[in-house]
Structure formats: C-alpha cells, structure tokens
Structure 1
Amino acid sequence: MEIKKVFNYIWVLSSTLVFLACGQRSAADSAQPSTSENNHTDVLPYDSTTRTIHVLVALCDNTYQGIVPVPKAIGNGQDPVNNLYWGCEYGIKTYFNRSKDWKLLKKYKAKDAILERLVYKHRSENYYLVADAYDGKEIKLCTVDFLRGLHGQLKDTLQVDNKIIGIAGNAKLNAYIGHDGLMDFQLDQRFKNTDHQKRNAIILACYSKKYFAPHIDKEAVNPILWTSHLMCPEAYSLHDALTGYINGESNEQIQERAAKAYSKYQKCSLRAAKNLLITNW
C-alpha cells in the first residue's frame, strides 16, 4: 500500500511539473549532437501497401534539457525504463503495451542515440507503429531526425514480420513527443521537401506550433495535431489521435478524440483541451 501511495504521488507531481518544465528556457544549448547527413538513399525497397506511423520520443531529462526538474526517478534521460515519457504509466511504452488496439511485435536494444525501439502492429488494420526512445541529452538530434523525416530528407526501412516497412520519410505519419527543445536551441539546417510527397505530422510538445512551424514546409506537411501552449505530452492523446487517423477521420475529428483524452486524464474542460491541442495551419 505504501509503495502504491509513493507511485501515485510521483505521477501527480510529475504531471504538475511537466507544465512548468517548458516555462524555463536554457540560455545555452546543453546538448549539441552532430547529426548525420546520410539521406538513406540506398534503403531497401519496402512494402508500400503497409502503412507505418513513426514516433520519435525525446526522453525527459533533468540534466540536459531546459526544464524545471521532475522527480529524479522519472527525469533520467538515459533510463527509458523509468522515464516519464516512456516507461511511466502514461509513457509511450507502457501505455501502448496495455492498449487493446496494438500488439507489441519486437523490441530493439540501444543503438547510438536511440536507447530502445519498439514495433507494434495494429490488431485489426494494416498499420505498424515504430516508436524510438532517444537519449534525453540527444534531444537536438531527435528534433532534427523528426524534421528531416517529415520532409523526406531522411528515409529508412525496417524488416518486420518477414516484410520490409518504411520508416522516417517512408512512414505515412511522423510524430514527435517530448520537451520542445526548440525553445532552448537554434537549428542551422533548412528543411525543404524534395520528393513532392505530402506527409502527416503530430507534434506533442509545449507551444509546438509556434516553435516548429518556422521549420516546416507548409505545402508539404499536414499538421494533424500540435499545441498552442504548455502541455503534458503523455501517451493517451497520441493513442486516441491515432485511432481517428487509422479510421480515416478528418483532422478536426482527430483533434476532438485527442482533446477528450487529454481532458479526461488532465482533469480539464474539453474546451480548454481543444484550445490547447490544435490542428491545421
């Protein structure tokens, strides 16, 4: 009983602090990873009839991100198992593992900046979800990889179920989850679509429209869901948004689903949640 009380306390405290986390901006870029310029033009041919959702998660990190610290146990960006955005109750890994809609197929161990990769298959539709947990100190690399994939500058493939699926720029939808590092650092790269394919995006981070929009090619990206203010980027909003996306719903219908989930778990009004989780340009 005492252990349960401790975990309940940690979750409540972390949900409160995460709103404050984006309010503190770092004057210096604490993590300056050198991003690869490999465009992956030599990737294997993939099954274009299979639809992939690629989710990049920048693990919450008290040390390397410009945030108000959360409890130490969930704010270690090098420990995905206990991280707020991955292993905690409402982190991507734990929440999707418990989902009745998704089945976990495979786990990959750490490789460079990605500390864990999970591959899920939707139980009734021909969709795969690939989720990557980036080391929290590599938030800049995570952001750049997301933007490059979103513009088709970074393309890759993955072998799953005896088939090859497309990820990054070969995915149908690209999502970013975590702290909005663009509040802390500047990007020198320019992101311009070069393959004339329009891609879908979900960006769950504080003030994501304000900070990500200047880096996105408006003609090449459909922003299904992003944010107007401080927010808690836990997995339930993404999960329910993806349900609508897979069902072929409009951006506005997907927004409604995500807002209902956010309202439920954050104990706020639906109107407030819809003002926070916004869609389109």
Structure 2
Amino acid sequence: MAARQGKTVEKTAAPYDTGTKTIHIFVALCDNKYQGIVPVPAGIGNGQDPNNNLYWGCGYGIRTYFKKSKDWKFLKSTKPGGHILERLVFKHATKPNQYLVADAYDGQFIKECITDFLNSSAGNRNETLDINGTVIGIGGNAQLLSYIGHDGLMDFELDDTFKNTDGKKRDVIILACFSKSYFGPHLEEANVNPVVWSSHLMAPEAYIVHDAITGYLEGETNEQVRTRAAKAYNKYQKCGEKAARKLLITGW
C-alpha cells in the first residue's frame, strides 16, 4: 500500500450547528455488472437504478426500511450529483436534533464510495448539509458513519492511506462480507471505534444497522449494540443467534 494519505476534502471541520448530531450511511448500490459479486436477479442488481436496488429500494434496502421505521421521520430526498444517485435525510422521531443521512452511490463507483467512507471515518472528509436552515455535519462531522454493501476491497486495492489528523475518535458500523479483515488494515490509523463489523460472508441489509443505531442512540455499549445487530440478523436470516453473534462482531 502506497504511503500517501487519502484525498482531503476539507482540512478543518466545516462550521455547523454543534447542537445537532448526525449518522451518515454510505451505500454502494448492488451491481451485477461492475462488482465482483455472485449475481443477484437483474432487477435488483442494477447499480444505476436505486429504486429497485437490493440495498436501497427493495424491502430490506436502506431507503424502504428507514422510511417505514417509526423511529425516523423522513425529511427529504435529493440528487446531489456525481457518484451519489440519491441522498435521503431523516430526523429522529423522539430525539431532538438527531439526523440520519444516507447516500446511494452508483454501484459502478463502489471504489469511490468506500474511499469517501474511509476518509470520512478518519476525519479527512468533513462536510455540512443545510436542512431547512439548520446546518448539520456529515462525513467526518458525523458522530457515526456506516458503510453498507459489497466488500469491494476484496476486488481492488486502495493506494491511499487513511490517517486521522484531528484527534477525534469516530464510531463506525461496516456491513459487508469479511469487513473486519478487509477494512481493518485501512482503519488502523484512522482512530475509529468499530461498533459493529463482520467476520464472514453476510447479507448487509437495513434491519441490522437500523437496530444497531437504536441501541447506539440509547447510549448502549458496543457489546449491547452488537447484540441488537445479531438479534436482528437472526430474526430475518434464521441462522441462530449464536451464529449471528459470531458473524457480527465489535471492536478490534
């Protein structure tokens, strides 16, 4: 791996309302054509079609699942352009000033999605978003960052390194196959707290991160949050809670 730092979007944290907190989810849309995955049915494996995509518009996709959640109030959908096909903004139903932003990246650009997530996790990509006059922090300005999708690091290498420079420890949830093994080396100097990631093959569906976030916002420990994630995985995958706990792990 080349010894150079990832591209920095902003060297200092952009000004935003520090009374707000944000969770930022990066989703690489499932893509049969451009990702090294076992092909899924064509209708849900088109990485340029968020509406029907396995990880976004399908029943257990981020957009559909969170829109149906009683915990979150949907605020708006935008099309930021570039590699991001759709951005969703939610506000928590009961916790004041708690926001959730989810970005759907064109599946062809999974490398860019992962790089943006890693840079944000290290605090080297700090951004803001105006929500009806309230400026919230996203990217490295978020409190919790999550990557959802195929583990593209199994298919390609990254030349960048992701070293933390601001001293802030950020929480991360990474739902992708073997995410600890593949993302771990890139995050060694990023100063992150891995709340939940995986040890083996998995289905990175929305109910996992949804239930993990519920515990996270209640101030639960990593182990308690991990337990919520494992229970959600077992509920839908019917794999047994013991197996789910071996799959969804926490910490280094």
TM range (shorter): over 0.9
Q: Superposition pairs for residues 98-247 of structure 1, below 5 Å? A: 98-125=68-95, 126-217=97-188, 220-247=191-218
Q: Which piece of structure 1 moves more, 106-115 or 37-46?
A: 37-46
Larger Rg: 1
Report the counterpart of residue 66 of structure 1 in structure 2.
Answer: 36
Q: Which piece of structure 1 moves more, 219-228 or 207-216?
A: 219-228
Aligned partner of residue 259 in structure 1, secondary structure:
helix
Q: Which amino acid aligns with 2:206?
A: A
Bigger fraction of residues in strand: 2
Instruction: Provide the TM-score with structure 2 as the length reference.
Output: 0.95
Task: Provide the C-alpha distance between the structure 2 equivalents of 1:219 and 1:77, rounded to a whole number of angstroms.
Answer: 29
1:42: Cα distance to partner?
7.1
Task: Provide the C-alpha distance between the structure 2 equivalents of 1:201 and 1:219, rounded to a whole number of angstroms.
Answer: 11
Aligned partner of residue 239 in structure 1, secondary structure:
helix
Question: Which consecutive unaligned segments of at least 5 residues does structure 2 have?
Answer: 1-5
1:48: Cα distance to partner?
1.2
Aligned partner of residue 210 in structure 1, secondary structure:
helix
1:219: Cα distance to partner?
6.8
Report the counterpart of residue 10 of structure 1 in structure 2.
Answer: none
Percentage identity across aligned positions? 63
Is 2:56 aligned against 1:83?
no
Aligned partner of residue 161 in structure 2, secondary structure:
coil
Task: Provide the C-alpha distance between the structure 2 equivalents of 1:60 and 1:45, rounded to a whole number of angstroms.
Answer: 34
Question: Which consecutive unaligned segments of at least 5 residues does structure 1 have?
Answer: 1-35
> Among 37, 40, 47, which residue is 2:7 paired with?
37
Is this contact kept in 2: 1:43–1:157, CA < 8 A? no
Q: Which piece of structure 1 moves more, 223-232 or 106-115?
A: 106-115
Is 2:234 aligned against 1:263?
yes
Task: Provide the C-alpha distance between the structure 1 equivalents of 2:13 and 2:222, rounded to a whole number of angstroms.
Answer: 31
Is 2:18 aligned against 1:48?
yes
Q: Which piece of structure 1 moves more, 103-112 or 113-122?
A: 103-112
Aligned partner of residue 94 in structure 1, secondary structure:
helix
Aligned residues: 246
Aligned-residue Cα RMSD (Å) equals 1.3
